[in-house]
Amino acid sequence: QQERVTPLEEIRPFPKAPPRKTQGGRKKGKTAILTSTPVRKELLSTKEKGSKKPAKRARKRLQTPPPDSDEEDISENMLVQEDSDTPDEEDESLKESFSFKDIKINDYVLVKYDPEDTDTIPFDQFVSKLPRPVPTGGTKRAAKRVKFDFDLRRYF
């Protein structure tokens, strides 16, 4: 009587490898005769969609002030300010040149408010008419800021 030797494969079989993961690969195509058929039009439209580049995002542009005659007004106001020697002379020159008739729509005016918050302001609370603001430029948001070539600290 011969002893039978059982192989290891029978006791514990070798594990089978799982199927390979596919990498996506190429899409299987169909054969077709491409003439003026709906199939041809469909293939051309899908090809055009794939070849179109996405639209570029709009970039914010820096704001530049439009050139106009305001620059002359600013330079004249600066000359008046440079000629005066003391702050008292500046105050007098502003008060002398300031009248209610000089105020126009979209002009900047310095006003002294009483503690009350009111919509109407009497004429005696007007301090002076300010010169045209200097354009700050930059982005659209920064262009909303107003800058004057005028020292406002003495009014605080």
Residue 125 placed within a domain: yes
CA distance 144 to 152: 19
The total domain count for the chain is 1
Supply the Cα-derived Rg of the chain in whole angstroms: 41
Q: Which two tokens stand for residue 37?
A: 């058929």
Q: pTM higher than 0.75, yes or no?
A: no
Residue 134, classified by CB atoms within 10 Å of its CB into exposed (0-12), middle (13-18) or buried (19+), is: middle
Taking each continuous run of H as one helix and of E as one strand, the counts in the chain are 4, 2
Residue 21 lies in a domain: no
65 located within any domain: no
d(CA 126, CA 128): 6
Flag whether 19 is in a domain: no
Is residue 137 included in any domain, yes or no?
yes
Q: Is 146:133 a contact under the CB 8 Å cutoff?
A: yes
The reply to whether 61 falls in a domain is no
Domain of residue 137 covers: 70-155
Q: Does the residue 9 lie in any domain?
A: no
The answer to whether position 29 is within a domain reads: no
pLDDT (tens place) for every residue of the chain, 156 residues total: 677 888 888 888 888 888 888 777 777 877 766 676 787 888 888 888 877 777 777 777 666 655 554 444 444 444 444 444 444 444 444 444 556 777 888 888 888 877 777 777 777 788 888 888 887 777 778 878 888 887 878 776
